[in-house]
Amino acid sequence: MPLLLGDIVPDFTADTTLGPISFHDWIGDDWAFFFSHPADFTPVCTTEMGRTSQLSAEFDKRGVKPIGLSTDTVDEHLKWIEDVNDTQNTRLRFPIVADPDLKIARLYDMIHPAQSETAAVRSVFIIDNAKKLRLTMTYPMSVGRNFDEILRVIDALKTGDAMGVALPADWRPGDEVIIPTSIDDVAAKGLFPQGWTTHRPYLRTTRLQD
């Protein structure tokens, strides 16, 4: 069965570059950015691992733990990290899951046979602290991920959770937000005392107060 938004993601135990983990325990009270790669020592994957490492402070301040997966062994991962650090001018510290038997890749539907029978496509899973899947994206093997979008959607999800709002196209922190249609004007007055603009009965926008 495919993973659906709102599902509790499957737990698993695995060896990683930072030692064995139980996935749900590893997430703990944080969120997780779980992302897969076709193979070690491949060019696009190397840039993605490097970019994740370069953005470690951005993930930290959002309370999000990155964790990668490639269908190779821990020993291969550790050798590959040396290349990532050297070519991408970083020091990679987050864990990379070893999955040489494809067990986790299949559990998370990362194997797309039209792309490869033995390598994982570029899957993205944003998982919250309740271990629920909040967003998933799948990129082809030849195209690297957009990390600006990954951080943007984490900000949007967390803002929506905290403030009870919806977020419009291309939203970034500081932009106007949308008051959901489930909140009527009477309730909105208490929740959004700063007021709002009614563009249509179903479209009301406001700016969040600092």
List pLDDT tens digits, range 79-119: 999 999 999 999 999 999 999 999 999 999 887 776 765 56
Of 101, 45, 88, 43, whose CA–CA distance to 68 is shortest? 45
Catalytic: which of 27, 32, 45, 74?
45
Residue 45 known to be catalytic: yes
Provide the whole-model pTM: 0.94
Q: Which of 3.30.1020.10, 3.50.50.60, 3.40.50.2300, 3.90.1580.10 would CATH assign to domain 164-206?
A: 3.30.1020.10
Stretch 110-138: mean pLDDT = 85
Task: Calculate the alpha carbon distances from 157 to 32, 127, 172 in Å.
Answer: 13, 11, 11
The tokens describing 155, both together, are 């900000």
The domain segmentation of the chain, as residue ranges, is 13-150, 164-206
Fold of the domain spanning 13-150: Glutaredoxin (3.40.30)
40 phi and psi angles, rounded to 5 deg: -70, 160
List pLDDT tens digits, range 163-175: 999 999 999 999 9
Length of the chain: 210
Side chain identity, residue 181:
T
DSSP summary character for residue 202: T
Q: Which pLDDT does position 120 carry in this prediction?
A: 66
Share of the chain above pLDDT 70, in %: 96
Mean pLDDT of the chain: 94
